[in-house]
Amino acid sequence: MPLAKDLLHPSPEKEKRKHKKKRLVQSPNSYFMDVKCPGCYKITTVFSHAQTVGLCVGCSTVLCQPTGGEARLTEGCSFRSRDYTTALQPGNEYFFKN
């Protein structure tokens, strides 16, 4: 009796809904994003699940507020998500040494 669904080739939509540890290939739900300040147009890198207030490096405007999960962007801020491989480079402010 064949299975009703293919366990080796799940659809991307179903994989995205699963818990990060229960996916076929584990991947995080969080990401880094470049946020553009609406006042001075400088770009600041912010973590998607930040637990502190994100401030602009140029004019100290609040860019994002922490919530229980993902950080909420301030109205008027635009963003683009970044890849982990580019965000965790030596010399970047988010590169941590143990």
**CA gap 3, 17 in Å, rounded:** 21
Is residue 82 a contact partner of residue 31, using CB atoms and an 8 Å limit?
yes
Q: What is the distance between the terminal CA atoms of the chain, rounded to a whole angstrom?
A: 52
SS3 assignment, position 14: helix
Residue 6: inside a domain: no
pLDDT tens-digit map of 30-80 = 899 999 999 898 999 999 999 999 999 889 899 999 998 889 999 988 888
Number of structural domains (the chain) is 1
Residue 96: inside a domain: no
Structural domain that includes position 42: 29-87
Confidence at residue 29, expressed as pLDDT on a 0 to 100 scale: 86
Is residue 71 a contact partner of residue 65, using CB atoms and an 8 Å limit?
yes
Confidence of residue 96 (pLDDT cuts 50, 70, 90): very low
Question: Residue 74 is part of a domain; what is its CATH number?
Answer: 2.20.25.100
Confidence of residue 86 (pLDDT cuts 50, 70, 90): low
What is the DSSP code (8-state) at residue 31? -
